[in-house]
Amino acid sequence: MQSIRGMHDILPDEIEYWQHIYLTAIKILGLAGYREIRTPILEQTSLFSRSIGEGTDIVNKEMYTFTDRNNRSLTLRPENTASIARAIIEHKLLFNQQIQKLWYLGPMFRYERPQKGRQRQFHQLGIECCGSYSALADAEIIYLAKQFLDILNYHDYKIEINSLGSIKERKEYQIVLKNYLQTYIKDLDTDSQIKLELNPIKILDSKNNQVQAILSDAPKLISYLNINTLKHLDNVQEYLHKLDIQYSINYNLVRGLDYYTNTVFEIKTQELNTQYTICGGGRYNQLIETLGGSPTACTGWAIGIERLLLLIKNKIAIKSTQLVFYIATQGHEAIKYALTFLKYIQEQQLKFEIDFSNKSFHKQIKKANQQNALICLLIGEDEVINNCVTLKWLQENNQITIKNTEFIVTLQQIKNLTTQYKI
């Protein structure tokens, strides 16, 4: 038996890096007033088709959808913003016009061709700020994304921003763009020809060089934005300058989900021999209303963890907790006696490991050395009879035998030692 293609196990040696990212998120996002939320990985299919958009690749090609035993159409979530919007409506989290700042980290599912940094089960860290139309909220989420990457010691990226305008403005622009591209329809690749009918604005993000050459003379979306939308974009830029954040405007920047409005942004890198988007997001002012809630302005972003780890893994210094006690025993009575010490060791939060083999002390001590333990706790027949315990300090290669009551006091001294030297 093997795992399903594109769905990987995260093994113990890798988990430490994931935990580092999770703990960094708790610290950085918690300080900014964001609280963690966890939504189900299964939702009604209509949640995503209504929010992401029928004309998107995600809905048309990539969702894992099935009919359950009650004949309901369910989908493994391909992204989490729609799920959070649903949770906000269902649980009335915006009651009394309060602002909700939420963050999440969890698995998403898309049926894509597996490749480096892109799996069919992948994980995203994201934030959602709901309840404010302010451009300051847009600037803050970009600041937090930058701060998160900087704390992880990753700096080789650039930030691009754009405005998609309101849904009304975008619809007006799409008519103009479609008319322009119709002239070049035979020169467009197959994917762009399909998008021309379903969702022309998505062609702006084409990776086809010939299509991009055609787009170079196309009308620009910014020319169709009204004064309030342009003022919002100007305010975002003002705040980014005050936050000392370097960025550029990319007028062809669009996102793959239909719910985006106004500000959108991406954080990109060239480090992996191709242009990678590390983080992407923006504003979605109509999503909650589309799903049946009250009109609510929101903004947020998501980072793909697998892709992020490709960039930062060699920059993270993971320090494992020192194995303090390796407990070696000889005989059934010794095992029972040794177990009485576990609660005292755990009270001092000292890492331990029990040898289950019942082999000779020589072989167990050898294993303790292989595990880089600080102390091998030796308990045999003599220790049981005399109510004592033998501590063998492995690095110094010396040992002492003390009474069990004295050992409990000694644990505090060992705790202080490990703390002092950050063992």
Q: Mean per-residue pLDDT for 45-53? A: 87
Cα torsion 30, 80, 269, 189 to 10°: value is: -170
Q: Mean per-residue pLDDT for 124-131? A: 97
User: Residue 256 above 80 pLDDT?
Assistant: no
Give the pLDDT band (50/70/90) at residue 55. low
Decide: 22 and 105 in contact? Cβ < 8 Å.
Answer: yes
Give the pLDDT band (50/70/90) at residue 255. confident
Closest Cα partner for 263 from 136, 158, 157? 136
pTM (two decimals): 0.87
Report whether 199 belongs to an annotated binding site. Answer: no
User: Residue 142 above 90 pLDDT?
Assistant: yes
Give the pLDDT band (50/70/90) at residue 91. very high
Residue 395 CA to residue 51 CA, distance in Å, equals: 61
User: Residue 54 above 70 pLDDT?
Assistant: no
CA distances from 108 to 16, 34, 51, 120, 363 (A): 20, 21, 16, 8, 46
Identify the three-state secondary structure at position 133: coil
Residue 102 CA to residue 109 CA, distance in Å, equals: 21
Cα torsion 192, 197, 201, 202 to 10°: value is: -40
Report whether 197 belongs to an annotated binding site. Answer: no
User: Residue 159 above 90 pLDDT?
Assistant: yes
Q: For 328-350, what is each residue's pLDDT tens digit?
A: 999 999 999 999 999 999 999 99
Percent of the chain residues past pLDDT 90, beyond the cut: 75
Report whether 36 belongs to an annotated binding site. Answer: no
Percent composition of the chain: helix, strand, coil (DSSP 3-state, to 5) = 45, 20, 35
Starting at the earlier edge strand, list the strands of the sheet with 158-163. Answer: 35-36, 100-109, 121-130, 298-304, 276-283, 261-269, 158-163, 248-249
| Mean pLDDT of the residues in the chain | 92
Report whether 401 belongs to an annotated binding site. Answer: no
Decide: 302 and 191 in contact? Cβ < 8 Å.
Answer: no
Residue 423 CA to residue 342 CA, distance in Å, equals: 20
Report whether 246 belongs to an annotated binding site. Answer: no
Please report the sign of the dihedral spanned by the C-alpha atoms of residue 170, residue 218, residue 233, residue 241: positive
Residue that the structure tokens 């009575």 belong to: 333
Question: 321 or 181: which carries more pLDDT confidence?
Answer: 181
Query: What pLDDT score does 358 carry?
Result: 87
Give the pLDDT band (50/70/90) at residue 214. very high
Decide: 264 and 253 in contact? Cβ < 8 Å.
Answer: yes
Residue 79 CA to residue 256 CA, distance in Å, equals: 11
Report whether 286 belongs to an annotated binding site. Answer: no
Q: For 351-403, what is each residue's pLDDT tens digit?
A: 999 999 989 999 999 999 999 999 999 999 999 999 999 999 999 989 999 99
Report whether 260 belongs to an annotated binding site. Answer: yes
User: Residue 157 above 70 pLDDT?
Assistant: yes
Report whether 81 belongs to an annotated binding site. Answer: yes
Query: What pLDDT score does 420 carry?
Result: 57
Domain architecture of the chain: domains with CATH:
12-165+237-315 (3.30.930.10), 167-225 (no CATH), 323-420 (3.40.50.800)
Closest Cα partner for 338 from 365, 372, 366, 376? 376
